[in-house]
A = this chain, B = another copy of it.
Amino acid sequence: MTTDQNPSTAGSKPLRADARRNRARLLEVAEAVFAERGTGASTEEIAREAKVGIATVFRHFPTKEALLEAVLVRRLEKLAEEGRRLAAEAGPGDALFAFFDLVLDQSPVKNAFAAALADAGVDTRAATSDAGRAVREALTALLEDAQRAGAVRRDLEVPELTAILVGTCRMLEHLDGHPEAALRARTVVRDGLRAGTGGARP
C-alpha cells in the first residue's frame, strides 16, 4: 500500500532545493505546533508559522492526516534511534528505564500523537509500520536485556510495555503542576515493572 512516496528518503525525482527546505521546515514547525496546540491545530496555523502558503503544505502532504502521520513517523524514528543508542551505551539493567525516562521527560503532549492518529481513524499499525517496527525492535532488545539482567519482571512482553509507556505519559499529563505527585506516580509504575525480581524497594 504505502510505497515510499517521500522524495526525501527515496522514490521518484529529487526535490528542488527550496522545496526540500520548505518540507523540512514544515515538519519541524508542524511537530512544534501540534505539540503545543494539540492535533486539532489548523493547517493554516502551521502554514503561517512556517511562513509558507497553505497550498505549499498541501502540495507536500496531500492531506492533514498525511502531515500528522509524517510527523509521527519522524518521532518514532528518533525514538528507535535513542533506544538503540541506550541499548548499546547503558548497562542492561538500566537501559530500559533510561529509555522510559527519556520518553516521559519529553513534552507530554508530544506523546499523544499515536492516540490522536488512532482517534482520527488512521490505521496506525499499517501507516507507521516501518517506523513502528523499528521502535518495537528496539524495545524488544531493551526488554530482553533487562530481563536477562533481572531488572524487570519476566512475565512482560512488548505490547503491554508499549501500552504502559503510553499510559504513563497520559498519567503524567494529568500531574503537570504537581512534580512530587508525578514522581510518585513514576515510582509506582517503575516498581510495578520490577515486581517479583527482589529489587523493587529496600
Contacts and interface: CB of A to CB of B under 8 A. Distances in A.
Given A166-B174, A181-B157, A181-B163, A196 B188 contact: no
A54 interface: no
Contact of A171 (B166, B172, B188, B191): B166
Nearest to A168: B167
A16 interface: no
Given A168-B167, A195-B200, A200-B200, A159 B188 contact: no
B163 A175 contact: yes
A160 interface: yes
A180 B53 CA distance: 49
Given A160-B175, A167-B168, A178-B159, A196 B185 contact: no
A163 B185 contact: yes
B191 A196 contact: yes
Nearest to A184: B160
Interface of A: 38, 40, 115, 119, 153, 155-157, 159-160, 162-164, 166-175, 178, 181-182, 184-185, 187-196, 200-201
Given A38-B119, A200-B195, A160 B189 contact: no
B168 A185 contact: no
Contacts of A170: 115, 166-167, 170-171
Q: Could you say which of A156, A162, A192, A195 has the most chain B C-beta atoms within 10 Å of its C-beta? A: A192
B164 A171 contact: yes
A153 to B, nearest CB: 8
A188 B193 contact: yes
A188 B181 contact: no
Contacts of A193: 188, 192
A174 B163 contact: yes
